[in-house]
Amino acid sequence: MNYWLAQTQGDFWLPPQASTVSAEVDWLFYFIYWLSVFFFVLIVGVMMYFIFRYRRQPGRRAEHTSHHNTLLELTWSGIPLLLVGFIFYTGFKSFMHMTVAPADAAEIKVEGQKWSWSFTYPNGYVDKDLHVPVDASIRLLLSSSDVIHSFYVPAFRVKKDAVPGRYNKAWFRATQPGEYLIFCAEYCGTQHSDMISKCVVHPPGEYEKWLQDASDFLSKMPPAEAGEKLYTTRGCRQCHSVDGTAGQGPSFKGIFDHPVALADGSQVVVDENYIRESILEPNKKVVGGYQAIMPTYKGRLKDEEIGAIIEYIKSLK
């Protein structure tokens, strides 16, 4: 994947225009930009001229000649009024285009979590990247499992907060096949800036093929590899490391077949049944030194998926 290439399709100032609203958003951006440049040059220019023209000189006396000029005042109120009226009208029209999804839009769920995005497709498959067909309207239903994140696809001119405890909506229609960057634009925490994913816009007919193929990963990948994929896409990584460092939960590294001390003072040896139970009923046996904050995955992970995760944990020697 070439992230850099995807970005360099744009020009020096803005990313590529890859959705139906990109062009109108950019048009208004440039309109306001050049308008500001024009008035900046005009105002500063006239100011400089007056400073020079009416500078203090020997023999020249400050004098007060005019009080007000109705025509001048109407002009400097009227022109800006028309301009901001035009900006409001154009901006509001684009805002409506960006906000109201067409009725035929397909829905993909987006979940933000520390520190990654996950995308749930209509058939229930979860992936760490967003895949969409070209020229199709996609409605995003955004939520967060922890803090506020901000879903941002510069090439589509789409940015919407993902907020815990509520759903936000966004939509877009991609116009060019390719790969585009997805960011989290919520820069109040240490690692939001690491939440980089990609949006793959598939040429006609290929999205369906991809979805079918990807959804079938359990039967296609070796179990440990499928388990690793689930570890990232289903949010385990948020609390469990695989390199031995403790996070909100214990690391998975080297736990299999080893004893672990529980909060109630007893000890268990980590085996398949213990891992399964920890995933389905996390509060039944709480690991010593940790809070019982792990959510249950009962009903959220299938047996084969739990099996794959177990294989993955086993592989982490």
Q: Which residues bind Cu ion (CB under 5 A)?
A: 149, 184, 186, 192, 195
Q: How far is the CB of 285 from ligand HEC (least distance, A)?
A: 6
Strand partners, 133: 202
Q: How far is the CB of 112 from Cu ion (least distance, A)?
A: 5
Q: How far is the CB of 193 from Cu ion (least distance, A)?
A: 8
Pairing of strands 158-162, 137-144: unpaired
Q: Minimal CA–CA distance to 160: which of 173, 146, 175, 144? A: 144
Q: How far apart are CA 301 and CA 285, in angstroms?
A: 19
Query: Which segments of the chain does DSSP mark as H helices, in order?
Result: 3-8, 22-53, 70-99, 206-215, 217-220, 223-233, 272-280, 303-315
- Pick from Cu ion, ligand HEC, none: which does 226 bind, CB < 5 to 8 A by kind? none
Residue closer to ligand HEC (CB basis): 45 or 244: 244
Strand partners, 259: 269
- Pick from ligand HEC, Cu ion, none: which does 117 bind, CB < 5 to 8 A by kind? none
- Pick from Cu ion, ligand HEC, none: which does 18 bind, CB < 5 to 8 A by kind? none
Residue closer to ligand HEC (CB basis): 162 or 294: 294
Query: Which segments of 116-262 does DSSP mark as H helices, in order?
Result: 206-215, 217-220, 223-233
Residue closer to Cu ion (CB basis): 26 or 186: 186
Q: Minimal CA–CA distance to 19: which of 124, 173, 189, 131? A: 173
Query: Which segments of 145-300 does DSSP mark as H helices, in order?
Result: 206-215, 217-220, 223-233, 272-280
Q: How far is the CB of 120 from ligand HEC (least distance, A)?
A: 14
Helix (H) or strand (E) holding 132: strand 130-133
Report the interface residues with ligand HEC, using CB under 6 A: 234-236, 238-240, 248-250, 255, 260, 270, 275, 278-279, 282, 286-287, 290-294, 297, 309
- Pick from ligand HEC, Cu ion, none: which does 287 bind, CB < 5 to 8 A by kind? ligand HEC
Residue closer to Cu ion (CB basis): 90 or 238: 238
Residue closer to ligand HEC (CB basis): 100 or 246: 246
Residue closer to ligand HEC (CB basis): 168 or 248: 248
Tokens coding 138: 């996609």
- Pick from Cu ion, ligand HEC, none: which does 270 bind, CB < 5 to 8 A by kind? ligand HEC
Q: Minimal CA–CA distance to 227: which of 128, 97, 314? A: 314
Tokens coding 284: 């039944």
